[in-house]
Structure 1
Amino acid sequence: MVESVNPHWLTPNWAAPANIRAVCTTRQGGVSAPPFASLNLGDHVGDDPYAVARNRMIVGDVLQLPTEPLWLQQVHGVDVCGMDVSTCYPQGDASVAFRKNQVCVVMTADCLPVLFCDKAGTRIAAAHAGWRGLEAGVLEQTLQRMDCPTTEVMAWLGPAIGAQAFEVGDEVRAAFMQHDPAAASAFQPSDTAGKWLADIYQLARQRLQRAGVSVSAISGGDFCTYSDAERFFSYRRDGQTGRMACLIWMDA
């Protein structure tokens, strides 16, 4: 993992073009009080609005962002927003950008953030993929909105809940297997009857590969928000908690 401008944050270790900038924040580096300590970027979790606004300013200042990110009202769906939306906080779970200095961002605290770019460095995207959005096709919808051959797309899988901590019911496994029987390999029996341990990283890789993204073009996927309480927020671990952000933009 390459260090970012803040040593506590993460910079994707992928072979993206030189003009692509991407960072994933952690829970460290902000002003929020417990249980949101300290860099909570979610304005919908019960934190002090002033602290959230200050934290977003900190991120913008540290990263020297060229413009305000397109903060989304995430609903675990499949809608993908472009940068020409007329509202400040549009409802959606992914965004795409085709111009320099436009910043895509998604917030997570166990769900999977996925960053995208094309190999030419001319388009970017960010997607929020909880199991509902992942199963419903948010990654496929994001690839479609990028409007380029999927063979030219690179993807980075950011911090999400790990396979040993993500217990789900039979209905979740069945939903994924309806699309692809091979998804069964991403589920291992839990010690709890009728429950399974789901590997959301493997499920995402399967969906991306089926959509045409090369195996070698998919990076990341080696984190666990649930087990790493020092670095990451985790909704399943803590209940009331903050949100981290994955951001991507193209330099001028």
Structure 2
Amino acid sequence: MTLRIRRVTTTRSGGVSAPPFDTFNLGDHVGDDPKAVAANRKRLAAAIKLPEDHVIWMNQTHSSDVALVDGPRADAVDDTDALVTTTPRLALAVVTADCVPVLMADARAGVVAAVHAGRVGAADGIVLRTLETMLAKGARAADISVLLGPAVSGANYEVPAQMATDVDARLPGSRTTTAKGTPGLDLRAGIARQLSGAGVKAIDVDPRCTVADKKLFSHRRDAPTGRLACLVWME
């Protein structure tokens, strides 16, 4: 039986957080009022029609660590940057404000994953590690669909030339040139190439750039600021 896959991406609007986290901040580590974050997360769970403990959060650390989740939980999964589950109606959440949220699903095998892929984690192989974990749970690369969510685009991700070279050596295809003509990184391009090379065929990229789109949170543009959430689950 093929399961129905749901993916959701939030924006800045619709919450209760005060500036500079206005308004729908879903990150609990950015200095926002914890009560506001809790209220926003409650609103999100209600909007997607799941109990609050069925939305699984991570305490992200820019690592290459992957965690398996098999049931509801009220607390976040510590020290991880990717979640994998085979349990329906568990929404795996990743929070970002420029890094790449990667939502992966094999509807036929019943395996989904959410990945926080920043520059460090992406270069360290967090996405491929997550793919390997999904395969170990019965997924097939050819059956996996991927959404690379809103993130800083290559046009707006300026980095030192040596950093661009170093990251591209580990994540080929990620080096680019910014709108200013300076060295830059397009992590989504590198991740898409990496997944394609691993046999994943269905890769969609959200065209929005967090820096350019004022409806989205961007750490590079506005720090301190809030965090978006991208979620994936099975029904």
Q: Normalization by structure 1: what TM-score?
A: 0.84
**Is residue 173 of structure 2 the alignment partner of residue 183 of structure 1?**
yes
Please give the residue correspondences for 1:34-73 in structure 2 after superposition, counting only pairs within 5 Å: 34-66=19-51, 67-73=53-59
Q: Does the 8 A contact of 2:17 with 2:36 survive in 1? A: yes
Report the CA distance between 1:221 and its aligned residue.
3.4
Secondary structure of the residue aligned to 1:167 is coil
CA distance in 2, matches of 1:47, 1:203: 32
User: Aligned partners of 1:164 and 1:22: how far apart in 2?
Assistant: 26
The runs of 4+ residues in structure 1 deviating greater than 3 Å are: 84-87, 189-192
Percent identical residues = 39
The residue matched to 1:164 in structure 2 has which SS?
helix
Trace 1:22-171 onto structure 2 (pairs within 5 A): 22-66=7-51, 67-84=53-70, 88-89=75-76, 90-120=78-108, 122-147=110-135, 148-171=139-162
Unpaired runs of at least 5, structure 2: none
In the alignment, residue 102 of structure 1 is paired with which amino acid?
A: L
Instruction: State which drifts further: 59-68 or 238-247.
Output: 59-68
TM-superposed CA distance for 1:189, in Å, is 6.3
Check the 8 A contact 1:100/1:250 in 2, yes or no: yes
Q: TM-score, normalised by structure 2?
A: 0.90
Q: What runs of 5+ residues in structure 1 fail to find an aligned partner?
A: 1-16
Aligned to 1:247: 231
| Residue identity in the other structure for 1:226 | V
Q: Evaluate the alpha carbon distance shift between residue 101 and residue 18 of structure 1 in structure 2; reply closer, same or farther with a 3 A threshold.
A: closer
Q: Out of 196, 203, 211, which is 1:209 matched to?
A: 196
d(CA) in 2 for partners of 1:81, 1:249: 15
Aligned 1:215-230 pairs, distance under 5 A: 217-229=202-214
TM-superposed CA distance for 1:84, in Å, is 4.5
Alpha-carbon distance in 2 for matches of 1:79, 1:201:
19
CA shift in 2, pair 1:200/1:28, >3 Å: same
| Distance verdict in 2 for CA 1:124–1:28, change over 3 Å | same
RMSD over equivalenced CA pairs, Å: 2.1
Q: Is the 8 A contact 2:95 2:101 kept in 1?
A: yes
Residues 133-159 of structure 1, C-alpha deviations (whole Å, 9 max, x = no match): 111101101101112222221100100
Q: Is the 8 A contact 2:7 2:232 kept in 1?
A: yes
Give the aligned residue type for 2:105.
C
